Amino acid sequence: QVQLVESGGGLVQPGGSLRLSCAASGIFFRINTMGWYRQAPGKQRELVASMTSGGVTNSVDSVKGRFTISRDNAKNTVYLQMNSLKPEDTAVYYCNAEFLRAGTLGRVEVWGQGTRVAVSS
């Protein structure tokens, strides 16, 4: 069993900051890529940022220079530091991770339940 639990969402004013956290727990051998996705009402879910176990990152152009993804492999936790927030960043943010199963080395992809981010004055 593996699961992801997000935290850190909330309501902030434009230009403000939030830090999201996602902690993985359960039985697994290794976590490969971890990332953050977001989905606004009526829109398709999109990748915000991701990071491999080796530290290679990827992010959507709209957040470059404002958001920073990081992870602590020892704590099985990934973070998303969001600065200079804009109203268009408003969405539910979901954590995603690919786990390598213990024993069999099979892979499983897991989603968190999401944490809401609202940017409004």
Q: Is residue 103 exposed (0-12), middle (13-18) or buried (19+ Cβ within 10 Å)? A: exposed
78 within 8 A of 70, measured Cβ to Cβ: yes
Closest CA to 2 of 117, 71, 116, 95: 95
Q: H-type helices in the chain, by residue range? A: none
C-alpha gyration radius of the chain: 14
Residues sharing a CB contact under 8 Å with residue 68, sequence separation 6 or more, in sequence order: 49, 80, 81, 83
pLDDT at 14: 98
Nearest to 93 by CA among 73, 115, 108, 71: 115
Q: What is the pLDDT of residue 118?
A: 98
Q: Is 66 exposed, middle or buried (0-12, 13-18, 19+ CB in 10 A)?
A: middle
Per-residue pLDDT at 21? 98
The pLDDT value recorded for residue 103 is: 79
Block mean pLDDT (10 aa), the chain, length 121 = 95 98 94 97 96 95 97 95 98 97 87 98 92
Taking a C-beta distance cutoff of 8 angstroms, is the pair 20, 36 a contact?
yes
